[in-house]
Amino acid sequence: MKKATIADIISLMEKIAPQSLSEKWDNVGLQLGSSLNAVKKIRIALDPSSSVIDKACKDKIDLLIVHHPFIFSPLKQITEDTPLGKSIYNAIKNNLAIFVAHTNLDKAKNGLNDLLARKLGLNNIKIFGPKQENEYVKLAFFAPEEFEKKLLNRLFEISDFKIDNYSCCSFRNHGASTFMPHKNAKPFIGKADKLSNVKEVKIEAIIEKDKISEIIASLKSAHPYETMAYDIYPLYASSFENGLARQGEFNKPETLYNLACKIKEKLKLSHLKYCGKANIKVNKAAICAGSGSSLMKYFLKSDADIYITGDVRYHDAKDAENNGRGIIDIGHFGSEIIITKELTQRLSKLLVQAKFDTIVAACNSEKEPFKTIGYNK
């Protein structure tokens, strides 16, 4: 088994939720600690609350991975007189690193919103709300046939572009190339001032635009040629859209009230709220984990019968009501806490595949902060 560093864990998290997916206003990635530090124990939580950090320090956790940012707004001072300042001091003294996966985890394929959609029983799931276009390019490079496997492995270590449920996608074409080394060259194959004919393979793959430099540098370090030949082609990004929220269909229509009751049980919620007529027939739903009020205008323009989200505002509820629609408010916590167990399982699988001797566990002490009295039908 190998020892892992925080940098290694960040690379694995990139496979789950690439940081390039995050919203421009967001703050994700490593927020405290050194990427060079060794990692033996990882804990995954929803919030970087004082109690979660205190417990992580007490249990000698090396890396805390959270969904909500630990540091979001610019800090004017760090003192132990504030809860955040105290947590920063505590984490530093106990060598606890903190890593954030927020809107990138919301958007990612099989991320938080896809998980919520599956748990709610939705089918034909697609993006809901404003769509963000990922920036990708096509990379084509050439190498001797005997280096084909080595360079492919090097490529997929850094870039793991997915097409639906498939990863490690590439195209390879075998052929012949010619070149003539000049007298100052140091060719891997051939001799100076003589024309060489070599059997080569052309490898093509889609890669993230912001990883071009990293990928090219890595390939060159493993490539046998003195000068690696490669081409980069721009792509129309609309083929690889992503968005914060999802929409889908239920297997059969339900009334709003009956669906709300079923969702409460499915997500094991202590409470939820809904608005709209209780007997509305629901077939299509839009969903957004966390706080989804900012997407209300997209919901009202869509053909979804209801909107399932958290932190719904009063006037949004009235707008839905006036338009004959329904909203089920499952709460910010209730819609997102489901990710801790899922993320633990996915990261644990990647750690085993990479043969790291690092263990990961979900935080089991987080609770819904709101308490309610009564529930009205």
H helices present in the chain, as ranges: 6-16, 50-58, 83-93, 103-107, 112-119, 148-158, 212-222, 256-266, 296-301, 314-322, 332-336, 338-353
Element (H, E) at 359: strand 359-362
Split the chain (377 residues) into runs of 10 and give each run's mean pLDDT: 95 92 93 96 98 98 98 92 95 97 95 97 92 78 92 85 71 90 83 86 88 91 91 70 89 96 95 95 97 95 97 97 97 97 97 96 95 68
Neighbours of 340 (CB within 10 A): 21
So what's the pLDDT on residue 137?
Answer: 87
Domains in the chain, start-ordered, CATH in brackets? Answer: 4-104+337-362 (3.40.1390.30), 107-132+244-335 (3.40.1390.30), 133-240 (3.30.70.120)
- C-alpha 306/C-alpha 277 separation (Å) is 11
What global pTM score does this model have? 0.76
Contact 302, 256 (CB under 8 A): no
CA neighbor of 181 nearest in space, from 191, 170, 166, 167: 191
Contact 36, 353 (CB under 8 A): no
